[in-house]
Structure 1
Amino acid sequence: MTAPLPRTAHEVRLTAIPEGLPTREHFTVVKTPLPEPGAGQVLVRNRHFLVFPGLRTLIGGEVNGLPLPPLRSGDTLFGPAVGEVVAAPADSPLRTGDAVVHMLGWREYALVTATECTPVDGTLPDPVAHLSPGSAAYGALTRLADVRSGDIVFVTGAAGAVGSLAGQIARLLGARRVIGSTGSPDKAERLVSELGYDAVVLRGAGPLAAQLAKAAPEGIDVLVDTVAGEQLVAALGAARQGARFALVGALSGQMAARGTGSSAPVEIDAFRLLIKGVSLRGYSGADHPDVEKEWTSRFGDWLRSGKISFPHARIAGIDRAPQALQEMIEGKHFGAVVVEL
């Protein structure tokens, strides 16, 4: 017998716009009445949701060019979530018990337009894997960088949600050598021992350019950049003729203590871009709508065969979600950060 639904549920709201990086004090967990679905809507009990770096920029409020709205004081946070439909009108294409992915995380129960839900069809062996941002890494490597057999690939922010998958994907696509960067010796060891990186450039352990030159004495063919800043500069110095650079993030600006997280200025040598014939392109999933389905299919096959893993930390309970965001900003976790309800 199905248990009755509660009358109230919890959600995480922004209480104040921070000056600089948000911390757990800028959020509160509130209890709200449980909504009822109307025409075209379903009520979803969220099971897991993703804590993602883009929240920092949305909270900063400068979102020109982004596909998501800013977050204002008093707003409930949002982001990718996996859950189970618990109430739906009779004419809904979704039924009670259906597992779905949607964008209204950061709450225990979400009232979602049915057309904005993607059914979970079993393509991935674990529904939580639908929260992986690996499609950005896969799209960058297949649509922009066109990684080839024998390539030497450098991944910045390699222990993050995107980077921890980018290196694995590059290897599966034929890369001969994969190098990553991180700011933690412990993460560096895990990148090599768990994810198969050949070498790691350690931020704070000396000049990045010199470290990269030692790790890749032949230079690099491909860059998957989630950081920008000095790491992009170092990568350009190591670029081989015709190198392909794909930018999928700008954490150096997004996670900066000052500013709004919407800018990541960096000075690069345009002359070197020119003489080396380096291509430098930013990746946007909206420009490649075919990638998501292709990635999900290949990701499922690779997960089942054990050829790839989905590194992530699971944080239990919505009360810990604000702390989980702060810890992600501080770089305390390896891979993606997921809140489990």
Structure 2
Amino acid sequence: MGKTTQVAADRAYDQTKTVLPAEVAQGVYMQHAPSLAALKLMHLMIGTAGGRMADDVRHEFRLSAIKKIDGMDNHTRKSIVPLFQELAAAVLTVDDPVKMTTTIGGLMDGARIDYRHEVSGDVMVTWYFGRTFREMAAESNHWAILDRQAVFHLGSKYSVLLFQHIASLQNLKHVTSKRFTVPDLRAMFGMSDGKFSRFADLNKHIIKPVIAEINSDITRLHLTVTYHKVGRTVAEVEISWEVKEDLTKVKDEQDRPKVGRKARRDGTTETPVTVFPAFGSVKDTQPWDRIARDNAPRIDGRHVPDLRVLADTFRKWCGEKSIPLDTASIEKTFTTWCKSYSAR
């Protein structure tokens, strides 16, 4: 039995951290890397299982636990189905040169969403981890201890993948950097062939934004990138890391709303963002009251529809479509939606 599950069991009291097997954290064992939302869900599942992640037992949490994750508060029992489908499709490939075996299997064996009591807001989610994952976790002797809120606050799946990979290397003595070949880096990001095939595009659209996000006040790590060339071609990307001296800024940023986070990270002036109300009516709440009155069809051609019902219906629709209520285009989305709204 490996040490990873014991470390996870010993840290069961700490709900701010997730212990992840290094084999999973480093990503090199996983094909078909899930989306950002599915990755966050995976972290919640592994964190919930803790020291029992290698056990052949049923794990569970409520939908409300998912809705507490940054950016996932609008999810419904219908909208989480595709996320579990992604996790079910993730393939783990483990090669053991000592035993001279290669094992291919899944992260998850099955999940069930019980919505019998959905009316009261009680939706239960249960799942079993796949045999390959359980065996990997049971035999793992290397792990990553991740700040759960940092993972939940990251806004790119590539940021999560690199953050968890680097976190898995922090426990190694005298190791403060790692060199990636460009193919290795693409594999770690789970990129398909042909996507950002030119290094200049990969660097511009993935590497630099990911480094900037991890270096922001969301995480405790500061990364530095060095490019190693053969002639004019970048052959390797070296990433070194250190823990930031002042972690109070990290906690403060994680406690702040994500609205304006990019502006804070870039050091630019924050532009006020319009957010649709999370509850209640939009009556006398601008600009939503005005938009609804100007665009929603009148009842019998005369009466404005009930603005509380209209607002509740819009919020439900956004949840089903996974549209955040603070998305930059929420005002335009609400305007278009109102035009086709039917109060009947």
Q: TM-score, normalised by structure 1?
A: 0.26
Greater share of strand residues, 1 or 2?
Answer: 1
Give the TM-score, by structure 2 length.
0.26
RCO greater where, 1 or 2, for CA within 8 Å and sep 6 or more? 1
Which of the pair has more CA radius of gyration?
A: 2
